[in-house]
Structure 1
Amino acid sequence: DRNEVRRFFKVVLCLAVTKADEFFKLVDESKSGKVACREMSRCLAPYLDKNYRPEADEVLAQEAAARAERDREKELKGYWELIGTRAYDKGFRSVGQLMLQMDKDDNGQLDRKEMRTFLTQYVHFSQQTADRIFTLLDVAQRGSVSAKEIRKRLEPYFVKVLRDPGHHVADWRSAAAAGG
């Protein structure tokens, strides 16, 4: 706790209580008034461990971030498949039609409310699931996500395969020449 940190700073490091309090504020990220030993050792390692390598922490942090991003993308992919399939089943035949329904104010951004409304009304997700999807998309925590990005992710569910006109008309060249 804070008093233990103060004693440590005073007795071991010969530093003032104000320095201990500043340090404690930095380490106590949860503002609980207590700091776990692991947090403390992580913060002090660069100064107390002769073998400390900051690049090792950086590599671990990068690996953790990459793992988290892969997990996020995997979870989102499952949601995109459900959204695309259910929206198509609900009668949406183009991603443009879908986006008109999602982005009601047509500002190119979807806020949590717009996303929640669409996902609960048309795709029949729970409010919690709709909010989870929004949170996964709003990585920067700006309170909105790009409609363009959503469009890009949902487009594969609405793309129609173009076929050779010969499959539809026996002699398509003569039909085109005849104006039909």
Structure 2
Amino acid sequence: MANEFLVSKWKIWYKSLDVNHDGKITFADVEESRSKFSELHHLPEEQKKQVMKNLEQWWNEFIFRGKTGEISESEFIKMLSKEFSADKAKFKKSMEKCFNILFDVIDTNKDRSISEDEFLIAFKAYGHENVALDTNFFKAYKPIDGLVPFKEIVNSWIEFATSEDKTKPDIVKTAFEAGV
């Protein structure tokens, strides 16, 4: 069983995925996030189709986890807890895959780094529209020449989703607690 600290982070993650802020995760959140993401990036039609497909697959595999319809916070926590309790190493590998896929989509120019613009667009697409807070979140990664290595961002999200150690600094948790 995951400790209280990790469960509290999963609850934060759940809220961050509620794109339309209606208190539940549904396909409407998927649709809004992928449509906004594609529109904000002004993607060419072929790339837009691929991004839309990739984001839908990501949501289905890592968020809905085979479930259809809406997901409540308690259902989300139960799904993660079950996988975490069954095999922590396998769960961590799943989260590595989850965030590698997600940030690969966000890295639209495929330079293996995330720019402030890519970061802000992704967060806006997910319903986080406070640019000042999102910018502070990005800057917490200490970008060099306006870029953060892809792997650094992915690793921070893996830590956020898997670490039970509340003594370790957590950029993602800190940002969400600040209001992102």
Normalising by structure 1, report the TM-score.
0.36
Structure of larger gyration radius: 1
Normalising by structure 2, report the TM-score.
0.36
Bigger relative contact order, structure 1 or 2 (CA pairs below 8 A, ≥6 apart): 2
